[in-house]
Chains A and B, each alone.
Chain A
Amino acid sequence: MNRKIAIAIIAIVIVVVGVFAYLYLSPTMTLVGSGATFPYPLLSVMISHYAQETNVHVTYDSVGSGGGIAALESKIVDFAASDAPLGATDMAKAPGSLHIPETIGAVTIAYNVPGIPTGLNLTGKAIADIFAGNVTMWNDAEIQNLNPNTTLPAKNIVTVHRSDGSGTTFIFTGYLSASSPAWNNSVGQGKSVNWPSPPGSTSLGAIGNNLVAQDVNNTQYTIGYVELAYALQNGFTVAAIQNPSGNWIMPSLSTIQLAVQSAAASTGLPAGNASWANVNLLNAHDPQAYPIVSFTYLLVYQELNVTSGMTHDRAEALVKFLWWVVHDGQQYSPGLEYVKLPANVVQTDEATIQSITFNRQHLPTS
């Protein structure tokens, strides 16, 4: 009995070792990144195509913007992804880091109310009041007044928020802070905030855009904030938000594109190694622009030798990957409801990527 067990165990060990040795020995370059769930639908497709073209395997783990930034600061990943630009504290903890906007997305307000079709009208202030727990019923006057032609049910609103450190939360709370001074003073903008919950209100926490989408999908009378791709690809009912021009705008590629054009034109973009904390595409001027739009960034160190496990070859592969993302990779955006980077942003990115060094040597981009 002992002998048979010993043989069985040895056999299993040999098989497993053989399997992973075989795969280990096949030469592939690997890069590791982690961060936002916001761009995950696009990044995962880009990575898949890139692997087919170049045999470079990029592992991207969508743990949330906060997780990506934390990993970057601990230098345990090659690049991070975040919808929230680095604040002053984070810039200090990740000195010499670069912001590379790789795509643009929008935060939609998705809801699940039986009988109410897509396109419910909401203002920033109304949304702030709902998420602050001051408006607790779907047929509250504040919501009903915005939607005179719809009968809203007398049911409690269940808000769904992100319980992890999220760039999507950062964008969303930024919009709420701009729309409601009360929100700005009490809750403010951040990747993680203290979600208010006065008595009578109910708020669910969910990890990742994924789970927020799932919770809204599975539970009636919920309202949550999710990135556009997640909402459109799964056929959610989303709100039409009032923009600064007074129009009710549904999130779509065209309305987001208008936001990007009108916002990027009026504000100059900082250099890659400067602070991007004041860059935002919220409440753009165009009459048909969707108001809750944002860049999402890839973050890397300008001098790559600080990253654990970095070698010259891997640094070169990383630079080429980043170059590809802002050029050829952009072709995959429209199909997945993300907006291609406009020319001026690509130019800024090019300069940033070209500034990346390994052991003070510049790296080729193609």
Chain B
Amino acid sequence: MKISSLEDDLFKILAAVIAASAAVILIVTGYTLFNGALPVLQRFGTYFFTGTQWNPNATPLYPEIYGALPYLLGTLVTAAIALLIGVPISLGIAIFLVEMSPRGLRVPVSYLIELLAAVPSVIYGLWGLFVFRFWISDYVETPLHTYLGWFPAFRGTPFGLDFLTAGIILAIMIIPTVSSISREVIRAVPNSIREGAYSIGATKWEVIRNWVLSYGRSGIFGAVILGLGRAVGETMAVTMLIGNASGSAAMPTSLFKPGQTMSSLIANGFLESSPGTLLYSAYISVGLLLLLLSLLINVIAQVMVTRIFKVKGGAVE
């Protein structure tokens, strides 16, 4: 008796070919960007990755030159702020939902947190531009500057469109991702661990801190990396709130400075550059750099998270 038939084989091949779409998307993206980036990479070499000048307009004193370091640092700094603020809050939410929340609150609260993920980025930017930046400027930045202005990170008159505001918005945006995965991780900790700890008289806080969190350490780390990936790739909200500085002025030397990330730089200027110019290729190169960074972070995250347990992708996005 035949186990599989021609139809079955054809179907399997069809499915396999269509599944290759993912690889196709990845390869097309990589190839297109690499191709477009070549002129600048060949011309400036390592300066592109280590230099800070971004000069599209050659003058007698300064030649045309493109260095993407400020933007790479800008992306990393805003992402770091996002993690510093967002991860503790996400953990707090995850712990609350798994360990402390009354049964009835669990679904409504987790749903509210997921709604944060549903809000489109441009609306975060809109709200940030008209509401949130004034909160941050008035209630966070001005006091910090007044009392702690000597500290390098708080130098410069704050007016709300800077690294800090962009970083805080990113923190809000990664909370749903990091908290939902952390929730799964914490839930997956076997109850026997908890019971063992309670049985020797530990308080809830002690159980969580010393047993649960350390058991779920790598899973939570994976969740953090995933949140980092999200923060790195974010475009619209950041573009509207980061202040859009360029060149060496975009180096993140203070939280209250206007800055620029790789994605906001491209959103600002790509369409304005003429195809075939070095500036055009420079923007594509920044895109390539962003792609590589994002790939690196996400591959690490995938390896960490799926190693612990299966994650339901998409639905928790």
Residue numbers of A with Cβ under 8 A of B are: 63-67, 69-71, 73-74, 89-90, 93, 155-156, 158, 163-166, 184-197, 202-207, 215, 219-221
Contacts and interface: CB of A to CB of B under 8 A. Distances in A.
Contacts of A202: 156-157, 257-258
B274 A66 contact: yes
Given A192-B279, A194-B54, A207 B271 contact: no
Contacts of A71: 271
14 contacts: A66-B271, A156-B157, A163-B268, A164-B268, A165-B273, A185-B59, A185-B61, A186-B61, A188-B58, A191-B57, A194-B54, A194-B56, A207-B239, A220-B159
Given A70-B272, A187-B57, A204-B245, 11 more contacts: A89-B277, A155-B157, A185-B60, A185-B61, A188-B57, A188-B60, A190-B56, A195-B247, A203-B245, A205-B245, A219-B159
B120 interface: no
B56 A192 contact: yes
A203 B157 contact: no
A205 B258 contact: yes
Nearest to A183: B59
B61 A66 contact: no
B102 interface: no
Contacts of B239: 207
Contacts of B58: 188
A186 B59 contact: yes
A197 B252 CA distance: 13
Pairs A-B, 6 closest by C-beta atoms: A205-B244, A165-B272, A197-B249, A66-B272, A190-B57, A188-B59
B276 interface: yes
Interface of B: 53-62, 156-157, 159-161, 239, 243-249, 257-258, 260, 268-269, 271-277, 279-280
B268 A63 contact: no
A206 B260 CA distance: 11
Nearest to A198: B249
B273 A66 contact: yes
Contacts of A65: 272
Q: Which of A155, A165, A190, A205 has the most CB of B within 10 A?
A: A205
Given A185-B60, A192-B279, A205 B246 contact: yes
Contacts of B246: 163, 194-195, 205
Contacts of B277: 89
A74 B280 CA distance: 12
Nearest to A72: B274
B243 A204 contact: yes
B244 A206 contact: yes
Contacts of A197: 245, 247-249
A67 B157 contact: no
B276 A93 contact: yes
A188, A202, A203 — most chain B CB neighbours (10 Å): A202
A189 B58 CA distance: 9
Contact of A67 (B56, B160, B161, B272): B272
Contact of B275 (A70, A165, A192, A194): A70
B249 A203 contact: yes
Contacts of A196: 249
B21 to A, nearest CB: 22
